[in-house]
Amino acid sequence: MTPAIRTQGLRKTYAHIVAVDGVDLEVERGEIFGLLGPNGAGKTTALEIIEGLRTPDEGDAEVLGQRPWPRDRALLRRIGVQLQASSFFEKLTAAEQIGTFAEFYGVPRADADAMLERVGLTESAGVETGKLSGGQMQRLSIGCSLVHRPELVFLDEPTAALDPQARRNLWDLARGVRDEGATVVLTTHSMEEAETLCDRVAIMDAGRIVVTGTPMRLVRDLDAPVRISLPPDAIEEDEARALPGVDAVETNESGLLLRGASAADILAGLAERRLLNGLQVRGATLEDVFLHHTGREYRA
Amino acid sequence: MSRSLRALFVEAIKSTIRDKMALFFTFLLPLMFLLIFGLIMDNSSSRTNVAVVGDGPVARVLEGPELKDALKITRVGSVEEGRKKVTDGDVVASISEAGGTVHVDYAASDQTQAAQALGTVNGVIAQANLRAAGVTTPQFRMDARQVEDDSLGIIEFFVPGLLGYGISVGAVFGLAIALVQWRRSGLLRRLQLTPIATRDIALARIALHLVIALAQTVAFLLVGKYMFDVHLTGSWWMCVPLVLCGTLAFLALGFLVASFSRTQEAASAIANVVTLPMAFLGGAFFPVEMAPSWVQAISKALPLTYLTDGLKDVMVRGHGPGAAVVPMLVLLGTALVAGGVALRVFRWE
């Protein structure tokens, strides 16, 4: 089977600004794939090209084995897209909204009601869309993109306006969709979300993909120091500095912070001194990977 | 009809019914104009107010049944009282008799009405003189006939004129605002990502506005008939195809407005700039035939002129169905040209 998405050398320039600068991407079927990157990195343009809304200046793309542009209605039937904006028929109720989208795909009404239930909006079924809360609108928008059980679904910052409960429910929904065999491509600014939800991520910056892989693999490849914090007065600073594997020590009001390349060496030393109570080990996170690759400057 | 098209049409109807503002501007406002204009210009108020002193032979004729449609008589006790009513503006003339002389005190501030009063009194005196001279069969008589249908009053012009106005506002504003709103909210882009045919989006909106236009026409005909007793002439039913062609022309203009507007505020301002002068110059509010020739020249370039003129021809001027053909062709031509330009200029985002 062809991959869900395969692109080669996508390039798109707007009036001297290179939005997408040679993007090669491959998304397997049945995975949750996260496209990460600071604002202005070119994620939106890249996705718009893949969704068929724009044609690239250079390069090629294949979505579910088809070229996505010019607008291909047969292909659109197989994909689902959720946009950030509240792009709705404002005066329709939540149930009518999702029902209208269901009609576009020739899906029975019952499926629309079931999807409304799945995104937790059955109680708001009769509320005019314009009067829903931000989180409810976002869930409705996700429901509308999934109502026809697409093979490939694009979610644009799907949990941005959601509270923790709704966010976790949405993660379950995304995993459920994947487990039914569909492919999920999402963008997010939450590294926590990317780390827990995505099977693989790609980090994009300045129009290019800078790194791709599973979140765990990326974190490991970063080879970042571990940080071990100890309660105050557990050990003298000088003694700590002398421990095997410790590169640096910091003291602050909440205790001591040890840094080193190998958690195993440091922990062994601490265990010998019976100092394991109350200690915390923190390795690098996907956020460290992200900042490592994209820098700390403010973006657009 | 595809399921998508039906779903879009149902959405359009529901959204319109739920949009109180749109309903107000497309239905209530034009009907309110009709009511206001109709009541102000009511035929009965065209009677001339005069005061009459005493009970002489001329006074009796003035009060007689033949003049009851032309004069509204107020009886006063004295010449002074009559003069005061004239100076106060309550009546345009005060008429008193002394022997063979009829005195008329009139106000020159309303020359048309004063002339009407003077003419009427003069006619009464002339007839009295003839009778006094023993003439029973006058040698000359005047037979004045109105060229329009006998019952034609000013309201008969307002119904087709304001109907045309309502159609233009409903279509231009309705489509322009909806499209800009859809573009701003990202809905247009969202719809592009569904498998619906672009043609269906257009067809659903066109169908919606044709239904609205028909509803407006029915409302105008009912209000005209039952509130103002408007007398329709033989081919009035040709107003239906005319209104439909007009709707297509104004939808194309609305599409054009949407193409040049980024925000709803801009769309609404541009739509006003398009519809309001067109209403004034296109025969919606007053007959353009009375305007200077350069105004008439501009008016000939406006699609609304053809709609109102066509509607007046078939609804009240008693022309045959053929009178609607040229206006309909002009309106369809407008729809094609404006729609074609808009298709090239319109942006989905």
A231 contact partners, CB below 8 Å, separation of at least 6: A255, A277, A278, A279
| Chain CA centroid to CA A23, Å | 18
**Cβ atoms of residues A116 and A122 within 8 Å:** yes
Q: In the prediction, which pLDDT does B146 show?
A: 62
Q: Give the CA distances from residue A208 to residues A18, A39, B315, in Å, rounded to whole numbers and listed in that order.
A: 10, 13, 68
Residues of B in contact with A106 (CB under 8 A): 3
Distance from CA of A89 to the nearest CA of B (A): 7
Residue B142: inside a domain, yes or no?
A: no
CATH architecture of A225-283: 2-Layer Sandwich (3.30)
Q: In the prediction, which pLDDT does A123 show?
A: 96
- pLDDT by residue (tens digit) across B92-126? 888 888 877 888 888 887 777 788 888 888 888 88
Q: In the prediction, which pLDDT does A78 show?
A: 97
Residue B235: inside a domain, yes or no?
A: yes
**B263 and B337 both lie in a single domain:** yes
**B35 and B60 both lie in a single domain:** no
Q: In the prediction, which pLDDT does B67 show?
A: 78
A65-69, A77-81, B150-154, B173-177, range with the lowest pLDDT: B150-154
Contact A90 B185 (CB under 8 A): yes
d(Cα A160, Cα A250) in Å, to the nearest integer?
35
Contact B18 A128 (CB under 8 A): yes
pLDDT, mean of residues B46-55: 81
Contact B187 A89 (CB under 8 A): yes
Helix (H) or strand (E) holding B102: strand B101-106
B290 contact partners, CB below 8 Å, separation of at least 6: none
- Cis previous bond, B195, omega within 30: no
Q: In the prediction, which pLDDT does B150 show?
A: 52
* Long-range residue pairs from B218-224, CB within 8 A, at least 24 positions apart, any chain: B219/B27, B219/B31, B220/B30, B220/B31, B220/B34, B220/B159, B220/B162, B220/B163, B220/B166, B221/B159, B223/B31, B223/B34, B223/B35, B224/B34, B224/B155, B224/B159
Distance from CA of B21 to the nearest CA of A (A): 13
**B227 and B296 both lie in a single domain:** yes
**B90 and B189 both lie in a single domain:** no
Contact B192 A71 (CB under 8 A): yes
* Residue pLDDT tens, chain A, 300 long: 899 999 999 999 998 889 999 999 999 999 999 999 999 899 999 999 999 999 999 999 999 999 999 999 999 999 999 987 679 998 999 999 999 999 999 999 999 999 999 999 999 999 999 999 989 999 999 999 999 999 999 999 999 889 999 999 999 999 999 999 999 999 999 999 999 999 999 999 999 999 999 999 999 998 888 889 988 888 888 888 888 888 888 888 888 888 888 888 899 888 888 888 888 898 888 998 999 999 877 775
Q: Is the pLDDT of residue B246 over 70?
A: yes
Closest CA to B14 of A81, A129, A299: A129
If phi > 0 it is left, if psi is from -120 to 50 it is alpha, else beta; for residue A110 that is alpha
Nearest to B185 among A73, A81, A86 (CB): A86
Contact B6 A71 (CB under 8 A): no
A23-27, A295-299, B14-18, B40-44, range with the lowest pLDDT: B40-44
**B199 and B314 both lie in a single domain:** yes
DSSP E strands in chain A: the ranges are: 5-14, 17-27, 32-36, 58-63, 79-82, 152-156, 183-187, 200-205, 208-213, 226-230, 248-252, 255-260, 280-282
Across chain B, what does the average pLDDT equal? Answer: 89
Tokens of A214: 């599973």
What class, spelled out in words, does domain A5-220 have in CATH? alpha beta
Q: In the prediction, which pLDDT does A50 show?
A: 96
Q: In the prediction, which pLDDT does A24 show?
A: 96
Helix (H) or strand (E) holding A216: helix A215-222
**B172 and B102 both lie in a single domain:** no
Distance from CA of A79 to the nearest CA of B (A): 8
> Structural domain tally of chain B?
2
User: Would you place residue B42 in the very low, low, confident or very high pLDDT band (cuts 50, 70, 90)?
Assistant: low
Residue B227: inside a domain, yes or no?
A: yes
**B223 and B256 both lie in a single domain:** yes
Closest CA to A273 of A253, A251, A246: A246
Q: Which of residues 193-212 of B touch A (CB under 8 A)?
A: 193-197
**B164 and B278 both lie in a single domain:** yes
Contact A85 B186 (CB under 8 A): yes
Q: Is the pLDDT of residue B221 over 80?
A: yes
**B163 and B124 both lie in a single domain:** no
Q: In the prediction, which pLDDT does A98 show?
A: 97
CATH 3.40.50.300 domain position(s) in chain A: 5-220
**B94 and B190 both lie in a single domain:** no
Residue B260: inside a domain, yes or no?
A: yes
**B53 and B174 both lie in a single domain:** no
d(Cα A80, Cα A96) in Å, to the nearest integer?
18
pLDDT, mean of residues B316-336: 95
Q: Is the pLDDT of residue B44 over 80?
A: no
Quick one: how many helices (H) and strands (E) in chain A?
11, 13
Contact B189 A87 (CB under 8 A): yes
pLDDT, mean of residues B333-344: 97
In this complex, is the C-beta atom of A106 within 8 Å of any C-beta atom belonging to chain B?
Answer: yes
Q: Which of residues 16-55 of B touch A (CB under 8 A)?
A: 18-19
Distance from CA of A138 to the nearest CA of B (A): 14
Higher per-residue confidence, A294 vs B135: A294
Residues of B in contact with A74 (CB under 8 A): 195
Residue B85 domain boundaries: 47-132
- pLDDT by residue (tens digit) across B296-306? 999 999 999 99
Q: In the prediction, which pLDDT does B73 show?
A: 85
CATH code of B111's domain: 3.40.190
Q: In the prediction, which pLDDT does B64 show?
A: 79
**B236 and B320 both lie in a single domain:** yes
